């Protein structure tokens, strides 16, 4: 196995179990590992410190274990996936007749950096974000079949857009096991078509489940605007919560089709709902003041640190428009899923927008990602989803 040697002192974060090694921390490498290969990492004092997947880029090693005796073999993958499964089972997610949509593996949060696995009824959708997870995909699929024996029939691999291009991996999306076209999954009793073939992420935003459920509690009798609706998740919950009317908006025509399909699946023929394919800013400018419950769940405005300033301006502008138009006594659910935007940054952007509008605004809830998207305490950056529920007078 190739050995990566760190510069003096660069092992400090690893001693605190942080799972990444940046390329700048490396003094030299014995030999030339291929991207995705497992390498051993040593301190400047030649002490073993970690083992992980090597990759060319700013994060050079993603740690899989801090134990020198642990081999990255079939037993390793089975053990890791079993640990992830046991956690979901212990919090009541795996055997719930009312809900068969959940995240089984959440990257660093499950000590498996670079790997995501979502469960949709009897299909697991697996996504690699690192070259190493891509190379190990068949071993992982094998372990997944074993751990989920009797619970899933299909494993779909969806990594065409999540792997670094430069690594020349040419991943192809497709089934590693089974091959069903039945793609309807249930979330808290509501049905959704999951577009794992073409959809964003693994086909659905599993991470908004608890926040959608909270929204349902506030929907009764309200006029709801679900901006950036994608699959219409929040809209369907608002309908069940007894909203007076629900308008879903997304700039993507495909998202609007999906929203309409999901609405038909749950509330066929219900005329309270209308979906519009339109740009968010245009819609917010032209709309009236009829809404008293607004959801803003935009895509990540900042994918990287250097885009932070523009992103914060984006959040400020977007939220300003909602504060300008929302009815007195209205409730705003506003989110940021950019990892590069901190909770404080996001709050500042939203509070600035509120202050500019001159409205009196109170925080009802501070939201984040659900328990099946756990945050590894040694990798606090993993807390990416931030939300505020605000009462606007």
Residues near ligand SAH (CB under 6 A) are 205, 208, 228-231, 233-234, 250-252, 255, 279-280, 297-299
Tell me the closest approach of the beta carbon of residue 103 to ligand SAH, in angstroms. 14
Tell me the closest approach of the beta carbon of residue 78 to ligand SAH, in angstroms. 32
| CA dihedral sign of residues 15, 21, 24, 28 | positive
Q: Of 321 and 379, which has the nearer Cβ to ligand SAH?
A: 321
Helix (H, G, I), strand (E, B) or coil at 186: strand
Tell me the closest approach of the beta carbon of residue 316 to ligand SAH, in angstroms. 15
Q: Of 196 and 230, which has the nearer Cβ to ligand SAH?
A: 230
Q: Is beta strand 59-65 parallel, antiparallel or unpaired with respect to 20-22?
A: antiparallel
Helix (H, G, I), strand (E, B) or coil at 14: helix
Q: Of 35 and 250, which has the nearer Cβ to ligand SAH?
A: 250
Q: Of 171 and 199, which has the nearer Cβ to ligand SAH?
A: 199
Q: Of 252 and 352, which has the nearer Cβ to ligand SAH?
A: 252
| β-pair partners for 120 | 101, 123
Tell me the closest approach of the beta carbon of residue 23 to ligand SAH, in angstroms. 31
Residue 97 CB partners (closer than 8 Å, separation 6+): none
Tell me the closest approach of the beta carbon of residue 142 to ligand SAH, in angstroms. 31
Q: How far is CA 120 from the centre of its chain?
A: 15
Tell me the closest approach of the beta carbon of residue 76 to ligand SAH, in angstroms. 33
> Rounded to an integer, what distance in angstroms lies between the CA atom of residue 264 and that of residue 49?
54
Tell me the closest approach of the beta carbon of residue 334 to ligand SAH, in angstroms. 11
Instruction: Name the phi and psi angles at 264, rounded to 5.
Output: -60, -35
Residue 294, both tokens: 């607004």
Tell me the closest approach of the beta carbon of residue 185 to ligand SAH, in angstroms. 13
Q: Residue 37 CB: number of other CB atoms within 10 A?
A: 16
Q: Of 230 and 323, which has the nearer Cβ to ligand SAH?
A: 230
According to DSSP, residue 360 is labeled -
Q: Of 110 and 250, which has the nearer Cβ to ligand SAH?
A: 250
Residue 331, both tokens: 């409730």
Q: Of 84 and 229, which has the nearer Cβ to ligand SAH?
A: 229
> Rounded to an integer, what distance in angstroms lies between the CA atom of residue 247 and that of residue 92?
33
Integer CA distances (angstroms), 311 to 97, 298, 299, 305, 308, in order: 40, 11, 11, 10, 5
The CA R_g of the chain, rounded to the nearest whole Å, is 22
Tell me the closest approach of the beta carbon of residue 348 to ligand SAH, in angstroms. 22
In order, the DSSP letters of 209-272 are HHHHHHHHHH-TT-EEEEES-TTTHHHHHHHHTT-SEEEEEES-HHHHHHHHHHHHHHSTT-TT
Q: Of 118 and 250, which has the nearer Cβ to ligand SAH?
A: 250
């Amino acid at each position: 196995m190739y050995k990566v040697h760190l510069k003096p002192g660069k092992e400090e974060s690893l001693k605190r179990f942080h799972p990444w090694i940046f390329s700048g921390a490396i003094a030299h490498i014995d030999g030339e590992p291929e991207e995705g290969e497992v390498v051993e990492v040593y301190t400047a004092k030649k002490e073993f410190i970690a083992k992980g997947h090597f990759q060319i880029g700013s994060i050079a090693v993603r740690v899989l274990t801090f134990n020198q005796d642990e081999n990255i073999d079939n037993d390793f993958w089975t053990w890791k996936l079993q640990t992830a499964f046991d956690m979901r089972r212990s919090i009541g997610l795996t055997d719930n007749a009312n809900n068969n949509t959940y995240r089984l593996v959440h990257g660093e949060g499950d000590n498996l950096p670079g790997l995501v696995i979502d469960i949709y009824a009897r299909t697991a959708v697996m996504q690699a974000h690192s070259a190493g997870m891509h190379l190990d995909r068949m071993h992982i699929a094998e372990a997944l079949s074993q751990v989920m024996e009797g619970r899933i029939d299909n494993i779909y691999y969806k990594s065409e857009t999540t792997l670094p291009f430069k690594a020349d991996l040419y991943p192809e999306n497709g089934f590693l096991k089974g091959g069903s076209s039945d793609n309807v999954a249930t979330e808290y009793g509501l049905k959704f078509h999951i577009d794992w073939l073409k959809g964003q992420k693994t086909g659905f935003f599993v991470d908004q489940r608890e926040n959608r459920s909270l929204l349902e509690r506030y929907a009764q009798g309200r006029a709801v605007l679900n901006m950036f609706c994608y699959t219409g998740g929040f809209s369907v919950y608002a309908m069940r919560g007894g909203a007076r009317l629900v308008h879903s908006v997304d700039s993507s025509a495909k998202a609007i089709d999906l929203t309409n399909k999901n609405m038909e699946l749950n509330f066929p023929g219900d005329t309270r709902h209308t979906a519009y394919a339109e740009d968010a800013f245009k819609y917010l400018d032209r709309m009236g003041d009829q809404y008293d419950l607004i959801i803003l769940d935009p895509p990540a405005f900042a994918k990287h640190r250097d885009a932070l300033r523009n992103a914060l301006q984006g959040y400020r502008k977007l939220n300003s428009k909602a504060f300008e138009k929302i009815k007195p006594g209205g409730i705003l659910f506003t989110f940021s899923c950019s990892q590069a935007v901190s909770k404080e940054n996001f709050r500042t952007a939203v509070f600035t927008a509120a202050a500019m509008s001159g409205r009196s605004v109170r925080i009802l809830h501070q939201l984040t990602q659900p328990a099946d998207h756990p945050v590894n305490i040694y990798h606090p950056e993993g807390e990416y989803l931030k939300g505020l529920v605000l009462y606007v007078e």
